[in-house]
Structure 1
Amino acid sequence: MAGRGYAPPTNFGEAPKGYVPGIGRGAAGFMTRSDLGGAVAPAPGQTGLGEGAGSRSALAKFQRENAEKQAEAAAAGGGGDADEDKDFDKFEGADGGLFANAEYDEDDEEADRIYAEIDAHMDSRRRAQREARLKEELEKYRRDNPKITEQFRDLKRKLGDVSYEEWDAIPDIGDYTIKKKKDFAQFAPAPDTLLQRALDEKGVSTQEVDDGALTDLNAVGEGRGTVLGLKLDKLSDSVSGQTVVDPKGYLTDLKSIKISSEAEISDIKKARLLLKSVISTNPKHAPGWIAAARLEELAGKLQAARSFIQKGCDACPKSEDVWIEAARLNTPENAKAILARGVVSLPNSVKIWMQAAKLEAEDDRKRRVLRRALENIPNSVKLWKAVVDLSREDDARVLLSRAVECCPQHVDLWLALARLETYEQARKVLNKARETLPTEPAIWITAAKLEEANGNGAMVGKIVERAVKSLGNHGVSVDREYWLKEAEAAEKNDPPALAVCREIVRVTVGAGVEEEDMKRTWKADAAECEKRGSTHTARAILAHACGVFPAKKGLWVLAAKLEKSVGDSAAMDALLKRAVVHCPRAEVLWLMAAKERWLCGDVPGARDVLEEAFVVNPDSEDIWLAAFKLEFENREPERARVLLAKIREKEGGASERVWMKSAIVEREVGDVAEERRMLAGGLEKFPTAWKMWLMLGQLEEAQGDVDAARTAYTKGCRRCHDAIPLWTAAATLEQRSGFSAKARAILEQARTRNPKNEWLWLAATRQERAADPSGVDPEAIKAADALLSKGLQECPASGALWAEAVKMAPRPQRKAKSVDALKRCDNDPRIIASIANLFWQDRKVDKARSWFNRSCTIDPDIGDHWAAYYRFELQHGGDAAAAAVAKRCREADPKHGELWQRVGKNVKNWHDDAETLLKKCVAEMGAGEA
């Protein structure tokens, strides 16, 4: 036994009763047909699982009972269908009869609910993927098979941009009905005889008759000419009685003839029916006849239109519009006859008489018609004005004398008569007009103008005062707005009535204005009048305001500025004399008075004004500095030194301006030691005066002491870290000395102290470019471009940096760079000037001139642009154009600009005017390029 393997026993004998294999492990028993055996009924008391055959007995019993039921149904003869219908259930189907007696309890409900949740969960697992797939398939199908509306969607969207004119220009489609129309036209081939006849007509065919004459047989060509002649004759019948058709250009003019579409013809027919109904229903309705005539005129049937309007004249003889329309539709000769009938029916119609006068070609005939009209309508102002306009002066005076008798309530006739009369007669006419129309202010104003025109200026003010008083007594309120407009009208009269303007302002400008609002209101009135170009009215308002408020220096300043803009030096000098009398403490008025005399060339007079100002204002530093400037600009340095010394000796000391001006005087004289002493003294008192630090550095640099200049710049940058010129001057000094790295460090430190400063980035960029004067070193170009790009990132709206970028860009990229610059900084004068230079280089003269002019107009204070413009005109415009630019530059008097300030601050150029500096800048431009 030990050498063999163990084999378990396989024969366990018979299975016990009711045994089901695997039931202990959860398996369920099943049976096959072979297990059922014969249909043997189980013994009483046996269950379905008894002794192996109990289940077979139960199944056999079920089959037997089922067979008996089927037999009974067959015996009943057709009752089976009814039973089957009876056992049918909507939910279970035909098998419902098996469980018809079963109860649906809570367990069944819970099972159904669980199954439903499982189904829902299984359905939701891939719902997103399924829906996405369905959506994609649907979109693919719609792309492959688009709808008609989708195909025209982009076209429909563009319809929103279609204008009304384009809509009206769309032709009508006409009648394109889908109904099938019967077409009775049939095609038949042309016979050979017809073709041969056509060939014969094209040739020149003649035949000889009995008398030997030759007769042309080209009937077709003659017929065409006849038809053309008839059309020309028809079109020659126009409203004006003259042909409007050019026979030579007839075929060309056919293109301009409007061809009515079927829709328009249909609309005309409908309108014709409607208007026919209107004139038939109410033949006395004049607009109906007029509309019918105009409809026929629109349709091109002028004869029918005349017929309709003639019937309208017969039906509505009391309507002046019908007669005027009939005259318009007929030739001039017929129109005269029609209007003659019209004035018989309506002798008091002004319109008909005026239309009849217009039809006459000669003035005598027009006057005759108008006089005939005045016999019937003597109170028509329109007729009187028309006949006066056509008459000579003597006849017009007689007519106006009669007109004011017939129409006494019309002021225009009185004023026209007064203008035609002599001085004495005009006064009588105006007095009579004033008695007739006591509430009309225009008569008083005309009377005042009459007195001024005849040299009687003393009466102007009295007449205006009487006018205001008389109008007030008759209930006419004084409207200051109306009177100011009349003052402006008097100023713009031909010739100007300045005295009337001044007196109207004096008498009426304060009407209805509260005392506390007078100053503000009068200043606003003067500003508005000045905007409208009524300078004399504005001067009168300010003069009156200064008289009411003599101690208000603001009013005097406004009045002086207005006089300055007008250009009347004598009036300004007189005004300032009165101003300083009333406001002796107003320094600005003294300074304006002194400067005005100085500009007029009266230097001693300016000194006298300043001496008077010293007496009244002994402690005014501005007056002292004005006196210094007067002496300095007139090349009197010793006088200027004395004045500055007196200011420095005053109690309380002088300001930094005084110390700087003292150093400037010493620099012009050339006294280096004294200039250094003045700068040292000023910096000791004012260590943050960056201009004096800059002057000190420039002084030491000019003397060749680089270390002293470096020390001055360094100290200045420490104390005035926001002074950009100091930083750039220090960097420039190091660059000139050959220390490029130190110059870069200075500018980098400056950018750290002053972030987002365009001038520091510009200086750094130019410093890198200066390191390579030849401009061929790629490293220097790359470094400059990098700095410029960083500067534009930090200062994206810098016009100076963008102008430099345009200048530095390679030639093919300059246009694109200019567009970018304009987008970033629109209307920047520096960018516009750089673009003008590009046009100049490309020989586009007109564009360059336009852009130079634009840059100088936007900011006239930049002298570099004036210099470039002047140089351009010298090259392309000639001496006259260059002189015009120089004149504009002198009037603008620019103060800024890199080149302009560098040239202007040269000691040799301190006393030069703007035009001289302009020419020196141009000369330096040329020297720099050379």
Structure 2
Amino acid sequence: MTKAVTSLAKGGAPMDRESWFDQALQCECDGYPSTCRAIIRAAANMGFDSEDSAADRSDVWVSEAERFIPKHSGSRDESEKEQTNGIVTARAIFAQALEVQPADVDLWRNAADLEREHGSPADLENLLRRAVQYCPRAEVLWLIAAKEKWKQQNDIEGARIILEEAFAANPSSEAIILAAVKLESENGQYARALMLLERARQTDFSSTDEGNAGLEKPLGTGRVWMKSAVLLRQVNKLQDALKVARDGVELFPKFYKLWLVQAQLEQHDNNTSIARQTLSRALKQCPREPILWISAARLEYRGTLSTIDTTSIKNLSRARAILERARVYIPREPILWLESVQLEAEQSTQVARTLLARALQDCPKSGMLWAEAILLEPRPLRKAKSVDALKNADSQDPIVIVAVARLFWSERRVDKARLWFERATVAQPDYGDAWAWWWRFESEQRHLKKLSTTTDPVNDSIDQMDIQIKNLEAACSKASPTHGQYWPQIAKDPANARLSVNDILHKVAAFLGNTPQL
């Protein structure tokens, strides 16, 4: 094939690299994958000169490979047809790039994405095995390999072996040891997980330490100590958890999450005054962490640190003062403004609107504030406010998109609402609240349809709705979201530690019924 390419060029009928790649695709479509790969190998270096580095060529090849990777269409039949065309071509281009840049971690990740979407589990496993051989110090490649073994193949022992090999290659890797802890704890092996954490607390992670400025290489990391306290709390060893948290903040006083876990444990033990003192100390060490200020305020007006608690207001004036002080330390922080607005809204909608107007002057592009503005507006004015929100905030902000979807839902414009909920999950799949609102919406539509009539056509319609909800759940599970106003609080509740993504989805969706509705 190389001879053919050279002969054509000498014979006055040259083709550029792009044309040769198109010919490779045609060979793939005609059922000649070996010829396709041979063309890619022979033509890949056309158009480059001696000054182009291996990295430059690799970057060009990756961008060219993208146009051959199939894009899913709306029809399943069309999607399956598309998946047969372009995969071999794209894979061959990646292989060429990896041959000249075998130590490029991002390149291996891109190739892994291709195999995950369009290859077989065996193809992906083989590629990742090669990846970690060439890049043994790349934590992310080991973690991807272990996750694929665990989550996709349900091979827990295989994932454990990969993580053991990863730790042997990266003995000071916080990420790898915490991945091993997650593997063990989520599969009920708490003793093994706690043993790993105890060992990690005695490990020197000096190259990855966090929040320990001014200290002489403490053992463990802030995250390791925090995860230790959280897991001990999860297995109901509350006093041990509290001791670990307190010891941890002495070593890592700038790691705010440790302070927060300590305060939560103290408040859980009905030591509200001690929790208050802990948060006061935390704010002296970490005055620019919004969640600490918010937690301190909630402790005053809720009597709890829980984000999802909706009990009656207690010390409003003290909570208000804490949040005002927080905005001095952390100006133009939308989440602090939002907390203040939501606090006032429980007392007076008008006061909340006035405060929100100030907030939007301070943070004019904040999606969370514009979404709250839609919620607080009188019903006849909400549509206009949603237009303002879309104009001023990031058009891809899932919080605003969800607010607009909920507005359509309140107006019974079902198709529009569904479209906007889907748009929110596409814009940011990691935003769990969007999935929960969408699931709640679809569940309500199914319930209403079931109540409306019992004729056979409707039964078919309900079956379709069931499929739609199942597809939504599958997409949410694949996205495995971690962010949102409510999602992380419910997901991180110790009582929910071993729940699946779909279980969390259902719990968050149920809780959303307690929040202000449009």
- Note if contact 2:116-2:124 (Cα within 8 Å) is conserved in structure 1: yes
Deviation at 1:749, TM superposition (A): 0.6
Moved over 6 A (4+): none
Partner of 2:430: 861
In 2, distance between residues paired with 1:820 and 1:633? 44
Deviations 1:632-686 (A, max 9, x none): 2222111111112222222452211111111121111111111111111211111
Q: 1:690 to 1:619 in 2, by over 3 A?
A: closer
The 1:820–1:622 alpha-carbon spacing in structure 2 relative to 1, beyond 3 Å, is closer
Shift of 1:726: 0.9
Which letter maps to 2:384? A
Query: How has the CA–CA distance of structure 1 residues 499 and 723 changed in structure 2, closer, same or farther, with 3 Å as cutoff?
Result: same
| 8 Å CA contact retained: 1:556, 1:579 | yes
Partner residue in 1 for 2:165 = 612
Residue matched to 1:256? none
Partner Cα separation in structure 2 for residue 540 and residue 673 of structure 1: 57
Moved more, 464-473 or 696-705: 464-473
Deviations 1:361-397 (A, max 9, x none): xxxxxxxxxxxxxxxxxxxxxxxxxxxxxxxxxxxxx
Structure 2 contact 115–123 (Cα < 8 Å) conserved: yes
Distance in 2 separating the partners of 1:521 and 1:639: 46
- Output the CA distance in 2 between the equivalents of 1:754 and 1:473: 67
The 5 A counterparts of 1:762-773 are 762-770=338-346, 772=347
Which of 486, 492, 497 lines up with 2:32 in the alignment?
A: 497
1:298 corresponding residue in structure 2:
none
Q: Is the 8 A contact 2:230 2:241 kept in 1?
A: yes
In 2 relative to 1, CA 560–838 (structure 1 residues): closer, same or farther, beyond 3 Å? closer
The equivalent of 1:521 in structure 2 is: 57
Shift of residue 925, structure 1, vs aligned partner: 2.5
> Where does 1:666-705 land on structure 2 (aligned, <5 Å)?
666-705=232-271
Structure 2: which amino acid aligns with 1:901? P
User: 1:207 — aligned with what?
Assistant: none
Q: Who is 2:175 aligned against?
A: 622
2:18 corresponds to which residue? 481
Mapped contact 1:523–1:542 kept (Cα < 8 A) = no
Gaps of 5+ in 2: 70-85, 205-216, 304-313, 447-464
Q: Which residue of 2 aligns with 1:447?
A: none
For residues 899 and 553 of structure 1, the distance between their equivalents in structure 2, rounded to whole angstroms, comes to: 34
Answering whether residue 43 of structure 2 is matched by residue 508 of structure 1, we say yes
| Offset from partner CA, 1:257-314 (integer Å, 9 cap, x none) | xxxxxxxxxxxxxxxxxxxxxxxxxxxxxxxxxxxxxxxxxxxxxxxxxxxxxxxxxx
Distance (Å, rounded) in 1 between the aligned partners of 2:362 and 2:103: 52
In the alignment, structure 1 residue 597 sits paired with structure 2 residue 173: no
**Aligned match of 2:136 in 581, 584, 588?**
584
Q: Could you tell me which residue of structure 2 aligns to residue 654 of structure 1?
A: 220
Are 1:566 and 2:118 an aligned pair? yes
Q: Secondary structure at the match of 1:658?
A: helix
Per the alignment, residue 7 of structure 1 pairs with none
**Corresponding residue for residue 373 of structure 1:** none
Q: Tell me by how many angstroms 1:549 deviates.
A: 4.1
CA distance in 2, matches of 1:731, 1:887: 37
- Residue range with higher mean Cα deviation, 691-700 or 845-854: 845-854
- Conserved 8 A contact 1:688-1:719: yes
Per-residue Cα deviation, 1:865-907 (whole angstroms, up to 9, x for no partner): 2211111111225323322322222232221111212211111
Q: What is the letter of the counterpart of residue 444 of structure 2? A: Q
Shift of residue 606 of structure 1?
Answer: 1.4
Residue identity opposite 1:825 in structure 2: A
Aligned match of 1:923: 510
Once the two structures are TM-superposed, the CA of residue 567 in structure 1 deviates from its matched residue by: 4.1
* Aligned counterpart in structure 2 of residue 846 of structure 1, from 411, 415, 420: 415
Q: CA separation of 1:717/1:501 partners in 2, compared to 1, >3 Å: closer, same or farther? A: same
> Which residue pairs with 1:792 in the alignment?
360
Q: Does 1:873 align with 2:442?
A: yes
Q: Deviations over 1:468-521 (max 9, x none)?
A: 465467565574333222112222x24x32111111112221345346523322
Q: 1:757 aligns with which of 315, 333, 353?
A: 333
Deviation at 1:746, TM superposition (A): 0.5
Q: CA deviation at 1:822?
A: 3.0
AA matched with 1:521? R
1:192-226 Cα distance to aligned partner (Å, 9 max, x none): xxxxxxxxxxxxxxxxxxxxxxxxxxxxxxxxxxx
User: 1:866 touches 1:918 (CA, 8 Å); kept in 2?
Assistant: yes
- Per-residue CA distance 1:842-884 (angstroms, 9 max, x = gap): 2222232233233333233222122111111112253233223
Root-mean-square deviation over aligned CA pairs: 2.4
Matched, 1:745 2:321: yes
**Counterparts of 1:212-291 in structure 2 under 5 Å?**
none
Amino acid at match of 2:130: R
Per-residue Cα deviation, 1:51-96 (whole angstroms, up to 9, x for no partner): xxxxxxxxxxxxxxxxxxxxxxxxxxxxxxxxxxxxxxxxxxxxxx
1:724 is aligned to 290
Q: Secondary structure at the match of 1:649?
A: coil
* Displacement after TM superposition at 1:553 (Å): 4.0
Range that drifts further, 678-687 or 583-592: 583-592
Q: Measure, in 1, the Cα distance between the counterparts of 2:60 and 2:117.
A: 17
Q: Which residue of 2 aligns with 1:902?
A: 489
3-state SS, counterpart of residue 796 of structure 1: coil
**Matches of 1:578 and 1:812, distance apart in 2:** 60
Residue number in structure 2 paired with 1:541:
93
Q: Give aligned-pair identity as a percent.
A: 42
CA contact (8 A) 1:679 1:692 kept: yes
Q: Is the 8 A contact 2:61 2:94 kept in 1?
A: no
Q: Deviations over 1:401-443 (max 9, x none)?
A: xxxxxxxxxxxxxxxxxxxxxxxxxxxxxxxxxxxxxxxxxxx
Q: Does 1:834 align with 2:386?
A: no
Residue-pair matches, total:
457
Q: Please state how far the C-alpha of 1:815 moved relative to its aligned partner.
A: 2.8
1:15-414 aligned within 5 A: none
8 Å contact kept, 1:526–1:537: no
**2:480 paired residue number:** 893
TM value normalised by structure 2:
0.82
Paired position in structure 1 for 2:189: 636
Q: Retained in 2: the 8 A contact 1:522–1:541?
A: no
**Separation in 2, partners of 1:846, 1:798:** 27
| Equivalent pair of 2:61/2:97 in contact (CA under 8 Å) | no
- CA distance in 2: counterparts of 1:512 and 1:602, whole angstroms: 45
Per-residue CA shift, 1:95-152, capped at 9, x if unaligned? xxxxxxxxxxxxxxxxxxxxxxxxxxxxxxxxxxxxxxxxxxxxxxxxxxxxxxxxxx
Mapped to 1, the partners of 2:14 and 2:192 lie a distance apart of 62
The 1-side partners of 2:103 and 2:502 are apart by 40
Label 1:805 to 1:498 Cα distance change in 2 as closer, same or farther (>3 A).
Answer: same
Secondary structure of the structure 1 residue equivalent to 2:162: helix
Q: CA deviation at 1:589?
A: 2.7
Write the distance in 1 (CA, Å) between the matches of 2:515 and 2:341: 19
Distance 2:133 2:339 in 1: 52
SS in 2 for 1:812: helix
The more displaced of 792-801 and 523-532 is 523-532
Change (3 A) 1:479 1:815: closer
Judged with a 3 Å threshold, the aligned counterparts in structure 2 of structure 1 residues 569 and 792 are, in CA distance, closer, same or farther, namely same
Counterpart residue number, 2:66? 530
CA 1:811–1:586 in structure 2 vs 1: closer, same or farther (change >3 Å)?
closer
Q: Secondary structure at the match of 1:650?
A: coil
Q: SS in structure 1 opposite 2:53?
A: helix
1:564 aligned partner, one-letter code: R
